[in-house]
A and B are shown apart, each in its own frame.
Chain A
Amino acid sequence: MSAEVKPTRANKPFVFNAENEAKFQKLLTRYPDTAALNLPGLWLIQQQDGWISYEAMEYLAERINIPVTQVYEVATFYTMYNLQPVGKYHFQVCRTLSCELRGGEEILAHLTKKLGIKPGETSKDGRYTLTKVECLGSCGSGPMFQLNDDYHEWLTVEKVDEILAKLP
């Protein structure tokens, strides 16, 4: 599991932009109880800002009328939610058994070296973030990582270099 993070202030208020507000309104009609929007609401926030700030959690709690501690609980339970700003490219490397047996450790070591950051860190220029995560359900094709929204499977050190070279 990734290192523990506390809610971090963005020091500016959060509001859904027009597009996400429309999505939110649609979600509102989908469930009998607004509390059901805890997960999708957090996801919308992350799509908008790339991460979920202290202010955003407060905002969502108010919008769906649940205690902010309940948003905090869910946001920290699921590792897919970023509670701190992440770089332009977010590498989430699987560290669970199947990937590990197929050389996941080596992939992680290689990335650490190439990116110059340790797991849990973001590079100073804000370009890369490296995170260790639990199984991403792609065990049959490990080792793997998720780069932003995409899976990269059957990884080898060479393949990692190729991926890095292609990044705009």
Chain B
Amino acid sequence: MSKLITMNVDGQELQVEEGKNLIDALSAVGIHIPHFCYHPALGFDGNCRMCLVEVEGARGPQIACNTPVKEGMKVSLSSESSMNLRRKVLEFELINHPLDCPICDQAGECKLQDYYMEAGLSKSRMEVEKVAKEKNLDFGCGVVHDQERCVLCARCVRFLRKYTKTAELGIVNRCDKAKVTTFPEKPINNRYALNVVDICPVGAMTSRDFRFKQRVWFMSSEKSVCHGCAKGCSIYVDHNQEKYKAERVYRFRPRENAQVNGHFMCDAGRLSYRKENENRLTTAKASERFEAVDIATSQAVALLSAAKGKAVFIVSPSWTTEQMAVAKSLATHYDGYLSGYADGYIVKGDGDDLLLKEDKAANRASLELLGISTDRQKLISNLKTAEVVVVLNNDLSLTASDKREFEALFAGKQVIFVGSHRIALADSAQTVIPCASYTEYAGVVVNVDSILQEVTCAIEKECFARRPEQVMAALSGNAIKAELGAVRQQLSASVPALAQVDWNAIPENGLNLKGGAQ
């Protein structure tokens, strides 16, 4: 943190960080200055004038986004004249705005709405007809644009020029004809496109996927981590239970984290929320017949007890660190071999310099921390002599050659599949036990840069799926510890890198296991 300076906002003395602009410096101490075009990741542009504030001694109102804080500075935000500035800017913004909030997805999280309720509330003085523009324009990549709602802040344009460097959008024409658009026949085409929906301060950019699905105020948000790849972007899981319907996730949104993903996330990760709702494994099987979960579990226990020393466990590289530790205890309990083999999770060439990683496993780093082997040959040689194979949500069918090879190795063995989704094994295994997926349990994951982050439980699906650690405890005949607190204690004691983790106070931005807290 750089030096603190003292300034005065609306008569109140405040300590803020030197070297920042007014918007950032004051937001750090909980004061929000209305603004549209400024975005910390895109820098200032000075085009919207929404951030005008009065600074004592200045010649006129100043734009907060480009006014650095200074020692002794006096700023007025809520005086009548400051409010008046805002009211005037808003009056301009609303001249041609269609006022279709009732059908706008942004309603409830729209800056234009918020500021109007705060400072606007003026009657329109316009007597001429509004300029009509186009709505529901398909810009590509699932981005839908509404020209009438746009406040021309150019955030979307700047994002595509500065961040993805693909520059598919521009603002063409001028005056009241100005609009955001693509060059004809050249739609938005990049893997981070849907971020423009988040950064658009109003409802001019909406997501084809989320449009009209939920009003934002009905949803609850949980802080979690994307499981789409080894980057582990910080996210919000927005979920809701509609009347007479099962609770479900409606969207993932990036959660600001300077240590991991900055302000953004990739589209694939964002849309991976769908996997939490689709193709879920809900039924248990024992002896290749559908059975109650408890019957399947006792059958699995019987199989495992009879095969002591001849069982192989293959754990998912995306399960939480705690779950991996429980898997370890389970394997030890049956004197079996535990593998975290997951070469199939690596998609060569799929990474880039922004966020996306080739490794689609969310917690491979923990396999290493816990000393769980990922070696293919070792797994294969152990499988050759095994009688029972327990696959703990690891998808071995991700690459075609793996699929063939492991199918052959599994032949003639008792296969127990514990999983959250209906992957191939859910059909072929003799014993199947469903378990919760990562929006339904809590724990930690460690990303590719050794940042440990917390996964929180957004949805409780107790009715049909237990948490992986509960399933594993049951598989041991309740002989092993699976309760989160106990597992964490054990982790701190046995894994040096985790010795210092304060499990009850993991920072929201995660913990850098290489360099301590941020």
Picked from A1, A57, A68, A73, the residue with its CB within 8 Å of the CB of B177 is A1
- Interface set, chain A 1-48, CB cutoff 8 A to B: 1, 4, 6-7
The reply to whether B167 and A69 contact each other, CB–CB distance below 8 Å, is yes
B186 contacts across to A, CB distance below 8 A: 68
Q: Beyond A76-B172, A77-B172, is A69–B177 a contact (Cβ under 8 Å)?
A: no
Most buried by A among B161, B177, B183, B186: B183
- Report the minimum CB–CB distance from A166 to chain B (whole Å): 35
Bound-complex Cα distance A77 to B152 (A):
14
Bound state CA distance, A70 and B175, in angstroms?
17
Q: Note all chain B residues with C-beta closer than 8 A to A4.
A: 173, 177
Are A1 and B175 touching (Cβ within 8 A)? yes
Interface positions, chain B 260-297, Cβ under 8 Å from A, are: none
Partner of A67, one of B161, B175, B177, B184: B161
Q: Closest A-chain residue to B171, C-beta based? A: A73
Which residues of A61-77 have CB atoms within 8 Å of chain B's CB atoms?
Answer: 67-70, 72-73, 76-77
Contact B177 A7 (CB under 8 A): no
CA distance A76 to B178 in the complex (A): 9
B170 x A70 contact (CB < 8 A) = yes
CB pair A76 B173 closer than 8 Å:
yes
- Cβ contacts under 8 Å, B170 to chain A: 67, 69-70, 72-73
Residues in B whose Cβ lies below 8 Å from that of A72: 170, 172, 181, 183
Interface membership of B396, Cβ < 8 A: no
Report A-chain residues with C-beta under 8 Å of the C-beta of B157: 69
Determine the chain B residues whose CB is within 8 A of the CB of A6 once the complex forms: 184
| Chain B residue at minimum C-beta to C-beta distance from A67 | B167
By beta carbon, the residue of chain A nearest B166 is: A67
Q: Please indicate the chain B residues that have their CB under 8 angstroms from the CB of A76 in the complex.
A: 172-174
A91 near B: Cβ within 8 Å? no
Cβ-closest chain B residue relative to A54: B184
**Pick the contact of B174 from A54, A68, A77 — CB < 8 Å?**
A77
- Given the complex, which residues of A lie within 8 Å of B161, measured CB to CB? 67
Interface size grouping (class) on chain B: 10 to 19
The interface residues of chain A lying within 8 Å CB-to-CB of B182 are: 69
Q: Contact: B172 with A73, CB < 8 Å? A: yes
Among candidates B169, B173, B183, residue contacting A77 with C-beta atoms closer than 8 Å = B173
The answer to the question of B168 belonging to the interface, with a C-beta cut-off of 8 Å to chain A, is yes
Chain B residues 442 to 493 lying within 8 A of chain A, measured CB to CB, are none
B225 CB to closest chain A CB (Å) equals 34
Most buried by B among A7, A54, A67, A70: A67
Q: Contacts of A70 on B, CB cut-off 8 Å? A: 167, 170
Interface size classification for chain A: 10 to 19
User: Shortest beta-carbon distance, A9 to chain B, in Å?
Assistant: 9
Given the complex of chains A and B, what is the CA–CA distance between A72 and B174 in angstroms?
A: 12
How far is B170's CA from A69's CA once the two chains are assembled, in angstroms? Answer: 5
Query: What's the least CB distance linking A55 to chain B, in Å?
Result: 12
Q: Tell me which residues across on chain A come within 8 A of B169, comparing CB atoms.
A: 69
Minimal beta-carbon separation of B183 from chain A (angstroms): 5
B183 touches A7 (CB 8 A): yes
Residue interface bits A66-106, CB-to-B below 8 A is 1, else 0? 01111011001100000000000000000000000000000
Bound-state CA distance A72–B169 (Å) is 10
Q: Which residue of A lies closest to B173 (CB)?
A: A76
How far is A67 from B170 in the complex, measured between Cα atoms in Å? Answer: 9
**Closest Cβ–Cβ distance, residue A6 to chain B (whole Å):** 6
State the CA gap A76–B175 with chains docked (Å).
11
Contact A69 B173 (CB under 8 A): no
CB distance from A34 to the nearest CB of B (A): 15
Q: How far is the CB of A22 from chain B (nearest CB, A)?
A: 28
Q: Is the CB of B175 within 8 A of A69?
A: no
- Give CA–CA (A67, B169) in the complex, Å: 9
Q: Which residues of B contact A68 (CB under 8 A)?
A: 183, 186
A42 to chain B, nearest CB (A): 13
As a 0/1 sequence over residues 94 to 127 of chain A, the CB contacts with chain B under 8 angstroms (1 = contact) are 0000000000000000000000000000000000
In the complex, what's the smallest C-beta–C-beta distance from B433 to chain A, in angstroms?
Answer: 53
Question: B175-191 vs A: 1/0 string, CB under 8 Å?
Answer: 10100011110100000
Cα A77 to Cα B174 in complex, Å, equals 6
Q: Which residue of A lies closest to B175 (CB)?
A: A1
Q: A43 CA to B186 CA in the complex, in Å?
A: 24
Q: Considering the complex, which residues of chain B in the window 181-203 have a beta carbon less than 8 Å from any beta carbon of chain A?
A: 181-184, 186
Bound complex: CA A6 to CA B179 (Å): 12
Some 24 contacts from A to B, beta carbons below 8 A apart, are A1-B173, A1-B174, A1-B175, A4-B177, A6-B184, A7-B183, A7-B184, A54-B184, A67-B170, A68-B183, A68-B186, A69-B157, A69-B167, A69-B169, A69-B183, A72-B170, A72-B172, A72-B181, A73-B170, A73-B171, A76-B172, A76-B173, A77-B172, A77-B174
**Which A residues are closer than 8 A to B by beta carbons?**
1, 4, 6-7, 54, 57, 67-70, 72-73, 76-77
Q: Which 7 pairs across A and B sit closest by C-beta, in order of nearness?
A: A67-B167, A69-B170, A76-B172, A73-B170, A76-B173, A68-B183, A77-B174
Q: Given A68-B183, A69-B169, A73-B172, 13 other A-B contacts at CB below 8 A?
A: A1-B174, A1-B175, A4-B177, A54-B184, A67-B167, A69-B157, A69-B167, A69-B168, A69-B170, A70-B170, A73-B170, A73-B171, A77-B174
